[in-house]
Amino acid sequence: MKRTYLSIFCIAFMGISFLSAQEKIPQVEELLAKMTLEEKIGQLNLLTPGGGIATGSVVSEDVETKIKAGNVGGVFGVSSPEKVRQAQDIAVKSSRLGIPLLIGSDIIHGYKTTYPIPLGLSSSWDMELIKEGAQIAAKEATADGINWNFSPMVDIARDPRWGRIAEGAGEDPYLGSQVAKAMVQGYQGEDLTQPNTMMSTVKHMALYGAAEAGRDYNSVDMSRLKMFNEYFPPYKAAVDAGVGSVMTSFNDIDGIPASGNKWLLTDLLRERWGFDGFVVSDYTSVNEMIAHGLGDLQAVSALAINAGLDMDMVGEGFLTTLKKSVDEGKVSEETITIAARRILEAKHKLGLLDDPYRYSDESRPEKDILTEENRSFARKAATRSFVLLKKHENTLPLAKNANIALIGPLADNKNNMLGTWAPTGNPQLSIPILEGLKNVAPNAKITYSKGANISDDSTFAKKVNVFGERIMISEESSETLLDNAMEVADAADIIVAVVGEATEMSGEAASRTDITIPDSQKKLIRELSSTGKPVVLVLMSGRPLDISEEMNLPVSILQIWHPGVEAGNAVGDVLFGNYNPSGKLTNSWPRSVGQVPVHYRMKTTGRPGPESGEFQKFKTNYLDSPNSPLLAFGYGLSYTTFEYSDVKASSGELTANGSIQLTATVTNTGDFGGEEIVQLYTHDKVRSITPPGKELKAFKKIMLKKGESQAVTFEISAADLKFYNSDLKYVAEPGEFEFFIAGSSDADFKGSFTLKK
């Protein structure tokens, strides 16, 4: 799906909307009473003048003329107080009713101050950090005139071939729900009329992360049980947190594309979940229903508005066909009135109907955007997102006076620090790794060599470089690059190799069937690891990679995702020990792409694979690989070590209306102080539908000094054990439960309790 834009949830159901039962806003109703049918339809039209990144083939034309005619409800791709004021001037002073515009944007992981990609931020497991990041992004974006954000993306994703896995929070519905809630609260705050808050959009409704074959925009087919138990929770968490808008996805659900799916947008979103905001389509997704095979533009536009879609992004099908559909009795005027009401109510919530220029304060950008305070936060967020995947001997942390060979195509490369979907950031303001290491350890001797191209394949590079040069193929031969790197390595005591994916090797329209490190870099890694010197791989990517080969080499591995504007400083902080890495993976990493999908919630089946991992005929296992992932969900190392003991429950029985405490003692047994993310999982031993092997129920991040112990306690009630049964009723069934308290999903420190009737 394209850079997802606003979700506007709306729909007329039997001529009566969910919202119509609520108290109406006089200011909105007065406007509606004055509006012609054409002006109501105009409010449902979202356009872009092309000032930002277009993620489809369409860029709107004659935008100013359409605004003056009352044919535009919102725009995106416009920023700065001056430009936003100009746009609002046209709407307020030159249209008949003077209705201001929504001003939207994709602000995915920070605005000008760019943070790690969302998959990286989720690896912090720090909801306060994530919420603060959204607050800072809202403050910066609103300073630049923007009042509506197309974020968060909360799609559960378990297929690392899918490039947009970079934009979400991973594979787990519970963790994903916590992230969704934190981001909505961060963007919207307590009062949307405050000029430093903005309306949030949860996307993509729904199931977009389960695209078949990991190919972007592809079909999705899954059972209702899987939808409700595994994929819907983060969307619902955002709705429960008060998100103002919802964006539809590109895929179909039960054979009907999301933008025209009445069961999804009305029956589920509005009537079951009680959503009272507006629903917006993704980029031209209404028009794309033609290619899905559901009719011409008039037919699919009528399908969408009748299904509960309120706003059409860029496609203009609503603008050009809805009046005809009303005249022909295919759409009721009341349906259009309800959708227009939802758009106007959003503008009321933002305070735009009282002050259209609320977000046009020209004094704000200088004092609110890319400040030292904001960059300091970005640096902190990046350090918390890094995941130490492997420790070899005692290489890390590095001494601040070390003699270091810094090698790799991503080691001194500003263009690849921000990550995918950072259209509002400036890569040239980022701190590359070379600069950051020198900043943190000025007494270290650091010598740089590129060593290899990100990829030697010029055809592949051309596909990646759509938004600018991300893969630069050197005029020097790959042999010369490698020879130069080996000379630098020979003169050093320690080798730090920065390798992995370019920014646009993941993200939208960046699906890959091969999720290994490119061959050009693999060759470099092999040669460096054969020197006998300590080697640290600093791995940059927007997705889980297949690093089975690299995990078997004598190297340490630090996963840094794409870290954002403060990338180099944050990497320096962690490599030199200013911060002890504490991140944990929010996706399982496969041993090979042939395992995909592999995730920790997989069911055991009637012929479970052997616990030993050794192959057994007529069991659910592979001839050529263990069932388990290479790296489990929740996995992440530290410069210190942690041990778990004394796992216990306060009672062996949990009543339907009571709660019990589940406790484990965690001890820092290593040589450094460090943070540990303590995770609680449960397993329902007998259930009316087949249960997953484990389910994450809670987590806590604790700090322990060297030698320190702490008892970590989680309180759990029957409500925490609920699931959707085969009737889609949300229930907790009595029976025996195992629980696991550990540092990752594959650990096995467990106890048990029984839920009583």
Q: pLDDT tens across 137-165, in order?
A: 999 999 999 999 999 999 999 999 999 99
For the cut 70, the answer to whether the pLDDT of residue 55 exceeds it is: no
In angstroms, the Cα distances linking 309 to 46, 48, 100, 159 are 12, 19, 21, 28
With b meaning 16 or more CB within 10 Å and e meaning fewer, what string describes 569-594? Answer: bbbbbbbbbebbbbbbbbbbbbbebe
In angstroms, the Cα distances linking 16 to 44, 269, 308 are 18, 15, 11
| Percentage of the chain lying above the pLDDT 90 cut | 93
φ/ψ region of 214 (left if φ > 0, alpha if ψ in -120 to 50, else beta) reads left
Summarised one tens digit per residue, pLDDT across range 687-712 is 999 999 999 999 999 999 999 999 99
The answer to whether 252 is a known catalytic residue is no
The single residue of 282, 368, 573, 684 carrying the catalytic annotation is 282
pLDDT for 22 equals: 64
Q: Which helix (H) or strand (E) holds 716?
A: strand 709-717
Tokens 């040669």 belong to residue: 527
Helix axes 26-34, 333-349, angle to 10 degrees: 140
pLDDT for 59 equals: 56
Query: d(Cα 219, Cα 380) in Å, to the nearest integer?
Result: 38
Tokens 């034309």 belong to residue: 61
Burial of 223 (0-12, 13-18, 19+ CB in 10 A): exposed
For the cut 50, the answer to whether the pLDDT of residue 313 exceeds it is: yes
Residue 294 — pLDDT band, cuts 50, 70, 90? very high
Find, among 4, 119, 141, the residue nearest to 419 by Cα: 119
The two three-digit tokens of residue 547, written as one number: 């690093």
Tokens 């025209």 belong to residue: 260
In angstroms, the Cα distances linking 280 to 10, 326, 420, 676 are 9, 21, 23, 40
End-to-end CA distance of the chain: 45
DSSP labels, 215-234: -TT------HHHIIIIISHH
H and E: helices and strands count for the chain: 22, 26
For the cut 60, the answer to whether the pLDDT of residue 19 exceeds it is: no
For the cut 90, the answer to whether the pLDDT of residue 612 exceeds it is: no
CB 100 within 8 A of CB 347: yes
Q: What are phi and psi of 712, to 5 degrees?
A: -105, 125
| Percentage of the chain lying above the pLDDT 70 cut | 96
Cis omega (within 30 of 0) for bond into 409: no
- Mean pLDDT estimate for the chain: 94
